[in-house]
Amino acid sequence: MTEAVGRTALVELSGVSKNYGNVRALEGVSLEVHAGEITCVLGDNGAGKSTLIKIIAGLHQHDGGTLRVDGEETRFGSPREALDRGVATVYQDLAVVPLMPVWRNFFLGSEPRKGVGPFKRMDVDLMRRTTRSELLRMGIDLRDVDQPIGTLSGGERQCVAIARAVHFGAKVLVLDEPTAALGVKQSGVVLRYVAAARDEGLGVVFITHNPHHAYLVGDRFVLLRRGTTVGRHTRDEITLDELTEQMAGGSDLADLRHELQRR
């Protein structure tokens, strides 16, 4: 793991809490994201992962604790503010337009233009060339950037979204369950490009419920259960078996195993 001692975290949450009315979604959650490292956040449904994503992405504001970006205490007012500070979030549904070509989705909402006045138009050639070269730089060799993005596999679409975030200057990449709906082979493709983003120097937050995927790429692990932190570890502090056991509930799982044994 990259040595992080003495370095300022790109993003740091300290004791962050979030309430929705009388429901406490997060309570006292802390994590660090460093350049060139992957921080994995693990938890089952209802653990608080979605709320954590929304706070980092600028969709929701935290009620307690602190959020720091490059060491500066911050409270994002919108996703645009988060993007302007270099925090890009790739959601599970990806927010792509399936019938549009890959290059159009790559630049969606940020299209470069050429010409002046009434003759100003999208620079399609530049978008095609840039999409192809940026995908290749990340090791993604698509057959044709003119094909509709909906014809790509789930893993390929995830990889296009990662390459897009890298191209537009993200320093922190938040990935929402990128392998959740994928098979083993496609999950491997995505994990390869998650590692490529790390190697580009980005800090990555990898949200997942799969400890095997997390352990393949993770440098730090934060385990959530019912909105609270039940474990924080670096890679050299925990084995895959220990991570899996904590993810599965530890003593709760042992009690269930005992209860289900044949008498």
What are the average pLDDT values for consecutive 10-residue runs of the chain, which has 263 residues? 65 93 90 95 88 92 92 90 91 82 90 84 92 86 88 86 88 91 84 90 93 93 91 91 81 63 63
Residue 60 lies in a domain: yes
Is 161 part of any domain? no
* 6 part of a folded domain: no
Spatial contact of 192 and 108, defined as CB atoms under 8 Å apart = no
**How many angstroms separate the CA atoms of 188 and 155, rounded?**
9
CA distance 144 to 180: 26
232 located within any domain: yes
Strand partners, 17: 64
Domain membership of residue 213 (yes or no) is yes
| CATH number where 50 lies | 3.40.50.300
How many Å is the Cα radius of gyration of the chain? 20
Q: Give the pLDDT confidence score for residue 5 in this predicted structure.
A: 53
Q: What is the pTM of this model?
A: 0.85
Any domain includes 156: no
Query: Residue 203 sits in which domain range?
Result: 11-97+169-260
CB of 193 closer than 8 Å to CB of 158? yes
State the sign of the Cα–Cα–Cα–Cα dihedral 100, 101, 105, 111. Answer: negative
Q: Is residue 86 a contact partner of residue 58, using CB atoms and an 8 Å limit? A: no
**For the chain, what is the domain count?**
1
42 domain residue, yes or no? yes
What strands, in cross-sheet order, belong to the sheet with 172-176?
87-90, 172-176, 203-208, 38-42, 220-225, 228-234
Report yes or no: 124 and 80 within 8 Å, Cβ to Cβ: no
Task: Evaluate whether residue 29 is within a structural domain.
Answer: yes
Length of the chain: 263
Residue 150: strand, helix, or coil: helix
